Amino acid sequence: MQIRESTASGDGDGDGDDDVEGGVPTILVLNSGSSSLKFGLFTHAGGDEALLLEGSAEGIGRHDGSLRIKSPDGRVLVQQDQLLETQTEALQKLAGVLAHQKYGRPSAVGHRVVHGGPHLRKHQRLTPAVRQRLQDAVHFAPLHIPPALALIDEAAKIFGDAQHFACFDTAFHATMPPLAAQLPLPRRYVKSGVIRYGFHGLSYESLVTQLGAALPPRAVFAHLGNGSSVCALRDGQSVDTSMGLTPTGGVPMGTRSGDLDPGVLLYLMRVEKLDAAALETLLNRHSGLAGYSDGESDMQALERRAAAGDANASLALDAFATAVRKTIGGYAALLGGIDLLVFTGGIGEHSAEIRRRVCDGLAFMGLVESDPAGKVRAIHTEEEKQIARHCRTLLAAQGPTGTR
């Protein structure tokens, strides 16, 4: 682990000037998914973060994997089709490609971290102490934190002369009141961190930033993708969200179950003799849309199958859309009405069919998918840009002692 307490002098192999685009420090953002690694390289221009390069390593662990780097106008600069075994290997390949670009080495690296446990609820610089707290929180997200730590460690080796920051998906939901955050368990569990954390926070922050003054007092955001959640916002702050202690809860997702009767888990333990590891695999890898449809989790494939008359695919689509609709309805009651419904995420942005199915039955609240008044919108999330904004702010707050 090469995250340092102080970065005043730098310990990398850069010369101190290679990371500046027009005199402005560049920021590399790493956004890791279950089988992908997205990234963006940013500078600061016109009062906001400006994209220099973006791309992703897709299909990590599969033989059809690929690495693609694009310019801000969408031109493909690098396309490599190859097997990338892990995210760290993908990062190594990415670093090799970036070394040949004109922008040089970044001054800062921002990491999206899905779950920081109970003690890491603010975006902050990565120090040995912060990394240790992440290590201590592994049991809160055993599927997410270990690969995040591996990526952080590899990035610290490759970009040792840069400052590293952790941006947490849970941070946005720290505004939730106890009514939403606390679970109906004995209070001793609250003290040990067993609460509702909420996720997709960086995506939701991005929407709040993009909407700005146009964001009304009562809004519901639905981030729909392979992982999906819904969030209720009052005056731009999270007051409730569908995911809970982990990203497994809430509405059914691509391969995640969403909320279940706890008795189901007890049944599986007693009758099927499943232990914690087997339950974790079942709930996160083989449930949700995949469970309804006998293994298919891709939304486009499900839509094609449903159109061809596949009853299981139709059930998966209906169950997903209905769960999202019911959650939106519940948040309407919580907020006393909804002024704006925003869809985002891969499914939320690109599937008009899902948006239509979700909005079916919500017309009584004025929420219609093709609403010309704009009460229902699809907006592209900008998680990487939001992370860059946080990193730039944290970098500036450190002052001269935090620069290389």
Q: Are residues 147 and 240 in the same domain?
A: no
Residue 14 in domain = no
Q: Are residues 244 and 117 in the same domain?
A: no
CATH number at residue 353: 3.30.420.40
Q: Are residues 163 and 254 in the same domain?
A: no
Q: Are residues 235 and 158 in the same domain?
A: no
Q: Are residues 223 and 360 in the same domain?
A: yes
Strand duo 340-344 + 218-223: pairing: parallel
Structure tokens at 396: 């500036």
CB distance 97 to 67 below 8 Å: yes
Residue 62 in domain = yes
Q: Are residues 69 and 217 in the same domain?
A: no
* pLDDT of amino acid 194: 97
* pLDDT of amino acid 10: 36
Q: Report how far apart, in Å, the C-alpha atoms of 271 and of each of 259, 266, 274, 292 are.
A: 20, 8, 8, 21
Q: Are residues 242 and 339 in the same domain?
A: yes
DSSP state for residue 257 in the 8-state scheme: -
Residue 180 in domain = no
* pLDDT of amino acid 318: 98
378 CB-near residues (< 8 Å, 6+ apart): 342, 343, 344, 348, 349, 355
Q: Are residues 117 and 248 in the same domain?
A: no
374 CB-near residues (< 8 Å, 6+ apart): 340
CB distance 26 to 41 below 8 Å: yes
Q: Are residues 228 and 153 in the same domain?
A: no
Q: Are residues 27 and 100 in the same domain?
A: yes
Catalytic residue numbers, as ranges: 169
Q: Are residues 366 and 229 in the same domain?
A: yes
Structural domain boundaries enclosing 161: 20-168
**Per-residue tens of pLDDT for the chain, all 404 residues:** 455 553 333 333 444 444 444 578 999 999 987 678 999 999 999 999 999 999 999 888 888 889 999 999 999 988 989 888 888 888 988 888 888 888 889 999 999 999 999 999 999 999 999 999 999 999 998 888 998 999 999 999 999 999 999 999 999 999 999 999 999 999 999 999 999 999 999 999 999 999 999 999 999 999 999 999 999 999 999 999 999 999 999 999 999 999 999 999 999 999 999 999 999 999 999 999 999 999 999 999 999 999 999 999 999 999 999 999 999 999 999 999 999 999 999 999 999 999 999 999 999 999 999 887 789 999 999 999 999 999 999 999 986 544 44
Give dist(CA 3, CA 161) in Å, integer. 10
Residue 250 in domain = yes
Alpha helices, DSSP H, located in 172-275: 178-181, 187-191, 201-211, 262-270
Residue 110 in domain = yes
Give dist(CA 193, CA 204) in Å, integer. 23
Residue 10 in domain = no
Give dist(CA 50, CA 71) in Å, integer. 12
Residue 4 in domain = no
Q: What domain count does the chain have?
A: 2
* pLDDT of amino acid 33: 74
Chain Cα centroid distance, residue 149: 16
Largest CA distance in the chain: 65
Q: Are residues 225 and 363 in the same domain?
A: yes
